[in-house]
Amino acid sequence: MSSSSLKPARIASLDQFRGYTVAGMFLVNFLGGFTNCPQVLKHSHNYLSYADTIMPHFLFAVGFAFRLTFGRRISTAGVGAAYRKVVTRFLGLMLVAIAVYGSGRAAESWEELQHIGLWGALYSPLKREWFQTLMHIALTAIWITPVIRSSAGVRIAYMFGSAALHVLLSHSFNFEWCSTSPNVIDGGPIGVLTWSIPALLGTLTCDAVAGAEGRPNLFKMFAWSIVVMGIGWLMTCGTRLYDVTETQIAEREQDAKMQKLLTDEINGRIAPLKKELGELGKTIAGLRAQLDGMVLAVEQVTDPEEREKLNQELKAALAKDSELRDKIDVIKVEFQAYRDGTEVFISKQLEIKAKLAGINAKLNGSKTVDKVVDEKQRAKLTAQKEALIKEDAAAAAGLEELKANPQDPNAPQVRVFRDPKLAIDPVFPSQARIDALKARFDEQGWRAIVAEPPFVYPPHTTPGVGKRSVMLREWNYWMVSQRQGTLSYTVIAGGMSIFLYAIFYIACDIWGLRLGLFTTFGTNALFAYALHPLTGGAVKAFMPRDVATWYMWLGFAVFMLFTWLFVRVLEKNNIYIKL
C-alpha cells in the first residue's frame, strides 16, 4: 500500500496516545531522582521497568504519524520537495536537541581546551549528552525515510536489516563502548538502528488503522502485539547464558577491592598534579591580564623590557602547564598499560612522547617576539618530529593488533580491572557458557533457561544481595537495556506500543473517550517536552532527594499542573510548535 492512499483525517487515538506518552515521560523524569521513587518508575539498565517503556512509545508515535502524513505531503508538494522538507525538519530537530540538552563545559581553561583538542571537547556530547530522546527521534526518522513509502514487506526487511547491523556493531565495539565512561544514554549514536523497530512498527500499525475500510482488525492487532512481545521475550532468555555462581561473585567482590586500592593509588598520584595545575591556571590568567592591560592602555608608555619579562613568565607558565598535563596523561597511560597488558607498546610510545616533548620545547622556545628564528634548525627539528610521529603510529598499530587478539581475559591482572558486571562475550556467548547452561538445564529443567518477564527485577537468590543482584548475572546484549538500546528491549517495547495503541483506539475512536490532559500534551508534544525541565527544575528547587513520599507526590502534582497551564495557554490560542 502506498502512503498516499492513507486517510487524511486526524486520528484521535494517536493524539491521546502521544499525550499519554508525554505525561508518562514527565512522571518518570520527575520522580526518578528521588530516594523514595518506586523502582519500577526508575530507568534500569538490566530489566524492563515502566520508565523504560515510555521512549519506545514516542518512536512508535513518530513512525505512525510520519507514515500518515508523508503521503499527504507528496500529493501537495511533489516527491522531491516532500523528501527535502522532512529531512530539513528532522535536521532542525537535531539542532533543537543540541540546544535543549546542551553539555557540560568541555574545559575550564584555554590551555586545557587546546590540550584535549576538538575531538576531546566533542567526545562526551556526541557519545552521551546530545543523544537523548529528541536526537533519537530525529535520526530515527531520517533513518526510516528511505522506506517510509515502501510496502510492508520492504519495511519489515529494513527492520530486520537494521537489527542485524546493530547486533554486529555491538559485537564489534558498541556494547563495551556504551558501558564505559561516559556511559551513553538511550543507545548512543548507534541506537538509531534498534529505535527504528518501534518506529517501523508504528508505520505498520498506521497501515492497519488508516488504510482499513471502516474499523481496523483489532483482533489481529492485539495478536501481532503479543507475537512481537513474545519474540522479544524469547531473545531475553539468552541472558540466562550469563548467570554466574556465588563463588564467582565472591571472586569479583575481591577483585573490586583490589581495583579500588589501585585506583586510589593512581588518583593519589594525580591529585597533587591537578592541584598544581589549578594554581598555575590562576598565575597564567594573572599574567595574561597584565599583558592585556598593557595593550589596552593606549596613553600609557609600555616598558618593552617589562613586557618581554611578562611574556617570558607566561611562556614558562604555559610550558609548565603542558608538562603537568603530560605527566597526568603518562600516569593514566601507565595505568591503562598495566590493565591491558600492553606495557611493551606503551613504553615505546612514552619514550617517543618524551622525545617529542623535547623537540616541541625547542620549537616553542624559538618563537620569542624579538628573536630571529634559525630556519635550518627548525627544519631539522620538524623532520625529527615527523619521524617520531611515524614511530608512534607504528606503536599504535601494534596496540590495535594486541587488542584484536587480547591476552587471556581471566588472567588475574586483566580480570581485576574488568568491570565485574560486563560480560567479556556479551553478544555471541562462548561455548563454555553454552555448556554450562546445558548442565543447568539437565539439573533444573526449564527454570534454568527461562528469563524473567517484563517489570520483574533480576533474581537475587542469595540472602542479603538485594540491589546487588546484578552480580548474579553479567550484563549482556540479550538483556533488556535502554542504555544499550538492545534488540530485545526495543522489540518487547515495540509490541507493547501496538497493544497499548489498540486500547487507545478502542477508547478514543470507538467509545469516543478523551482526556483533556492527554489532548493538551499530545497536540503540543515538542513544546511540552522542551518546557518540562524548566518547570521541573523550579519545583525540585524545594525538594531534597530524600523527601517524604507524600511530599514527593505533591511536588509531582505541582509540577504537572505548572507544566499543563503553560501548554494549555498555547492550546487555547491555537499555537502549536512542531517540526
What single string gives the DSSP state of each residue in 97-119? Answer: HHHHH----S-SSHHHHHHHHHH
pLDDT at 46: 80
In this structure, the answer to whether residues 208 and 306 fall within a common structural domain is no
Lowest mean pLDDT among 2-6, 13-17, 346-350, 575-579: 2-6
| Amino acid at the residue 303 | D
> If you average pLDDT over every residue of the chain, what do you get?
81
pLDDT of residue 400: 60
Mean of pLDDT values over 322-328:
75
pLDDT tens-digit readout, 115-161: 778 888 888 888 889 999 999 999 999 999 999 999 999 999 999 99
pLDDT digits (tens, 9 = 90+) for 451-481: 989 988 776 544 444 444 445 788 899 999 9
Are 322 and 352 contained in the same domain?
no
Residue 563 reports pLDDT greater than 90: yes
Chosen domain end from 340, 360, 390: 340
Is omega for the bond preceding 406 within 30 degrees of 0, making it cis? Answer: no
Question: Tell me, what's the pLDDT at 511?
Answer: 95
Same domain, 65 and 164: yes
pLDDT number for residue 23? 96
pLDDT of residue 166: 97
pLDDT of residue 234: 96
What is the rounded distance in angstroms from the CA atom of residue 220 to the CA atom of residue 223? 5
Nearest CA among 471, 475, 470, 479 for reference residue 247: 471
Same domain for 329 and 354? no
User: Could you tell me if 490 and 478 are in contact, meaning their C-beta atoms sit under 8 angstroms apart?
Assistant: no
485 falls within a domain: yes
First CA to last CA across the chain, in angstroms?
26
Cell numbers 542485524: residue: 164
CA atoms within 13 A on the CB side of 499: 15
Query: Tens of pLDDT along 274-314?
Result: 777 777 777 777 766 765 655 444 444 456 777 777 777 77
Q: What share of the chain is helix, strand, coil (3-state, %, to 5)?
A: 75, 0, 25
Model confidence band, residue 408 (pLDDT cutoffs 50, 70, 90):
very low
With 0-12 CB in 10 A as exposed, 13-18 as middle and 19+ as buried, what is 480?
A: buried
C-alpha cell at 447: 527454570
Q: Cβ(495)–Cβ(232) under 8 Å? A: yes
Assess if residue 232 is contained within a domain: yes
- Those residues whose C-beta lies under 8 Å from the C-beta of residue 404, and which sit 6 or more positions away, are none
174 pLDDT exceeds 70?
A: yes
Task: Give mean pLDDT, residues 10-28.
Answer: 93
Are 370 and 360 within one domain?
yes
Instruction: Indicate the Cα dihedral angle 344, 350, 356, 360, nearest 10°.
Output: 170
Is the pLDDT at 1 greater than 60, yes or no? no
Q: Which domain holds residue 35?
A: 20-243+463-513
Task: Give domain status of residue 396, yes or no.
Answer: yes
* Higher-pLDDT residue of 257, 554: 554
CATH number at residue 286: 1.20.58
Q: Is the pLDDT of residue 532 over 60?
A: yes
pLDDT band at residue 401 using 50, 70 and 90 as cut-offs: low
Helices 304-340 & 343-365, crossing angle to 10 degrees? Answer: 170
373: pLDDT strictly greater than 60: no
Indicate the range of 14-23, 64-73, 262-271, 551-560 predicted with least confidence: 262-271
Report yes or no on 475 lying in a domain: yes
Is the separation of the CB atoms in 345 and 403 below 8 Å? Answer: no
Task: Specify the range with the lowest mean pLDDT, choosing from 171-185, 187-201, 284-298.
Answer: 284-298
Average pLDDT (360-382) is: 60
Domain membership flag for residue 62: yes
Domain count, the chain: 3
pLDDT reported for residue 579: 59
Q: Cell triple for residue 53?
A: 517503556
- Given a cut of 90, whether residue 79 has pLDDT beyond it is no
Mean per-residue pLDDT, 503-532: 94
Q: Supply the pLDDT for residue 304.
A: 72
Q: Do 88 and 35 belong together in one domain?
A: yes
What would the grid cell of residue 100 be?
Answer: 535543549
Average pLDDT over every residue of 248-266: 69
| 214 and 72 together in one domain | yes
Least confident of 340-349, 384-393, 459-468, 507-516: 459-468
Mean pLDDT of all residues in 489-495: 97
C-alpha to C-alpha distances, 57 to 46, 158, 234, 455, nearest whole angstrom: 19, 20, 21, 16
Whether the pLDDT of residue 352 is over 80: the answer is no
* CB distance 515 to 564 below 8 Å: no
> How confident is the model at residue 545, as a pLDDT?
93
Residue finishing a domain among 301, 322, 340: 340
Distance set, CA 278 to CA 72, 272, 325, 328 (Å): 60, 10, 11, 13
Under 8 Å between Cβ of 196 and 136: no
Domain-embedded: residue 100: yes
Give residue 407's pLDDT band: very low, low, confident or very high (50, 70, 90): very low
Query: In this structure, are 363 and 332 located in the same domain?
Result: no
* 108 shares a domain with 59: yes
Does any domain span residue 89?
yes
The yes-or-no verdict on residue 25 having pLDDT over 90 is yes
Note whether 358 and 402 are same-domain residues: yes
Q: Does some domain include residue 439? A: no
Domain boundary among 365, 390, 406: 406
Contact 131, 188 (CB under 8 A): yes
Task: Show the cell assigned to 289.
Answer: 591580564
Q: Are residues 346 and 329 part of one domain?
A: no
Q: Residue 111 contacts by C-beta under 8 Å, 6 or more apart in sequence?
A: 281, 284, 318, 321, 322, 325
> 311: part of which helix (H) or strand (E)?
helix 304-340
| pLDDT of the residue at 366 | 52
Q: Which three cell numbers stand for residue 171?
A: 559485537
Query: What was the pLDDT predicted at 382?
Result: 77
Residue for cell digits 577491592? 257
Residues 6+ apart with CB under 8 A from 484: 45, 170, 175, 178, 179, 184, 187, 477
Grid coordinates given for 127: 557519545
Note whether 142 and 200 are same-domain residues. yes
Most confident of 83-92, 384-393, 547-556: 547-556
